[in-house]
Amino acid sequence: MSTQIQIIEPDHQPAPAQPLTASGYRVFNRIIDWITNDRLQLLNITDRINEIVRKSGIRDGIVHLQSLHTTSAVFINEWQDALLHDMRSFVEQLVDRNEYYRHNDPKYSDCERRNADAHLRGMIMGQTLCLQVRNASVLLGTWQSIIFAEFDGPRSRSLAVQVSGV
């Protein structure tokens, strides 16, 4: 049941007048940022990622997302209000903010944010996400949205976006 979608190959007959790299591999880097409002907040960043992919001019390849903060995460799920509530509850329950953590204890740590839970939530959910670019847009299933999770807001946050391919 393997279905062929597309094979992308660089132009086989490059002419001298046409830059040889016109169909070659490129890397397109951006940083996007925003300010979050809540301690635990989920943001739908699908449209912003698609906008960057479109601007990159890359048709086929990879878009790589990397949050530059340990107390945040990037992942995929359906964007539905009821489910967003469940996601937040699940994360709060998976890593209990009120447990004892050395990172929050002045005896062991000089961190004054008392955000050990946010670090562990970011670690378990992951701060990077790699998605396919096909036909000049991010490949996503019908119900898949790209979600940025703030675990220690409100704060200013940066996400590095890299599109690479042809």
Site for its own copies in 105-134 (CB under 8 A): 105, 108-109, 111, 116, 119-120, 122-132, 134
The H or E element spanning position 118 is: helix 116-125
Q: Which is nearer to its own copies, 39 or 134 (CB)?
A: 134
What is each CA distance from 92 to 6, 89, 149, in whole angstroms? Answer: 42, 5, 12
User: For residues 14 and 72, what is the distance between their CA atoms, to the nearest angstrom?
Assistant: 45
Q: Tell me if 65 sits within 8 A of 147, measured CB to CB.
A: no
Q: Which is nearer to its own copies, 38 or 51 (CB)?
A: 51
Binding residues for its own copies restricted to 8-37, rule: CB under 8 A: 8-14, 19-21, 23-34
Tell me the closest approach of the beta carbon of residue 34 to its own copies, in angstroms.
6
Tell me the closest approach of the beta carbon of residue 114 to its own copies, in angstroms.
11
Query: Which token pair is 74?
Result: 């990037």
Tell me the closest approach of the beta carbon of residue 143 to its own copies, in angstroms.
5
The reply on whether position 54 binds its own copies by CB under 8 A is no
Count residues binding its own copies (CB under 8 A). 89
Rg (CA), the chain: 20
The reply on whether position 144 binds its own copies by CB under 8 A is yes
Q: Which is nearer to its own copies, 44 or 128 (CB)?
A: 128
User: 77: which strand partners?
Assistant: 145
Q: What is the dihedral of CA 150, 32, 103, 38, to 10 degrees?
A: -30
